[in-house]
Structures are given as structure tokens and as C-alpha cells.
Amino acid sequence: MDHAVVVRQKMTERYLLDELDPTVKDEFEEHFFGCAECAEDVRAASLFIERSKTVLAAPAESVAAPMPAGVRAPRGWFAWLRPAIAAPALAALLLVVGYQNLVTLPGMSKTSRPQVLPWTSVNVGTFSGEGNQLIVPKDSGFVLFVRIPPDGTYSRYTADLYNPKGELEWSLAIPAAEGQDQWPVEVPAANRAPGRYALVVRGTAATGQRQEVGRTSFELQVQK
């Protein structure tokens, strides 16, 4: 399962709310056991849920102080200031803030912080050949500059990345653009094994016919 898909479809939250189909749930569990970032999100969200149960289980002040004679009970928005309503509302607000601090904001800081990623160029088709050696920190992402020979035959491409065991890690659709022969592809962080990775690019014509354009590989070294 692609990490970018996990983030885009908010699978961590849906997993904890038991909203995933059994098949997708199994795929997500297999993913986060090998992804340090998703495992941390699941741990933090689980901790938030446990703390939420504690807060919600605490008895709230349900009896308001008696209103003085002749004074009507507040209506409309002012009714929220009554203790019987304000206490649960405040508890709910604290839960929202707690979720943001434990899960949402830490996740945003991981993905929105500017950073320089390791990179290498890989060439397919007439440029084909083995790519350079790429050294990345453990559980880090990297960038592939994918060079594909220009060909007006295809309207789009599909890039498939295979790990050293020959297993498909992810597929990416690349739109063809006139005059463009290189695309920067950000590979999401994951717990990857070192070894030689293969990239296979296939072109799709306007008729829907698909054909392999070329393939290449690069050596990935993971720093401990």
C-alpha cells in the first residue's frame, strides 16, 4: 500500500474508527507495521482515544445553580453558558484540541517542513542503463528524476517501482507533456530494504494500447 494513498485517504483515522473494509484493513495493517510514520500516528491516535474515554467518563456537573426569582433562564446562544451544557461542550473542545496536538499537528509538521531529499537520476528507453547508487537515511523518502525519451505516440505513462525481491511497491501515472523528457518523482518515506530497485515505464496510447517503453534500476543503500 502506497504511503501517499494512506495519508490522502486518512486511513489512520478510518482504521481506528473501524471504517475500513476487511481487505483494505489487512493491507493497511501490513503497511503500518513496516512504516515508522504510520505506526507513530496509530500509536498517538490510540493514546488520544484512551484519554478521551477517561475525560468523557468523568462525571459532569449536571445541576445548575437555581435562578433567582423573577429571572428567566437564558435562551439562544446564552444558554450555552449554563453549567449543564458548558461542561460537556468544554470537554468536547478539549478533546478536539488534544487530537490536534497529539495527531493532526505532528503529522502536518512531518510533511510540511522544508527539507532536502536524497536524489538520483534514472533513465529509461533510449537512455536506459543502471542508475546511480543512492544513499538514504533509514525511513526516509527520496526523489527520482525519471528521464523518458519524448514520443508523441503516448498520451500518458505508468511508472512501476519493484523492490529487490521483485515485488511491486507502487505505481504512478505520469502525464505526457510535449517537449518534456524528465519528471521529478518524490518517493514517500518507508522502511525499505537495501538493494537494487527496478523502475519499469509503460506508455499508453490514445487508443488505450499499452507498451513497455523501457526499464532501469538503481542501487539503494540505507543508513542505519
pLDDT in tens, 101-135: 555 545 554 555 677 889 999 998 765 556 689 99
DSSP helix, strand, coil percent of the chain (3-state; round to 5): 40, 30, 35
Q: What is the pTM of this model?
A: 0.52
Q: What is the pLDDT of residues 15-34, one digit of tens each?
A: 777 777 777 777 878 776 77
The Cα-based distances of 117 to 7, 108, 127 in angstroms read 19, 17, 24
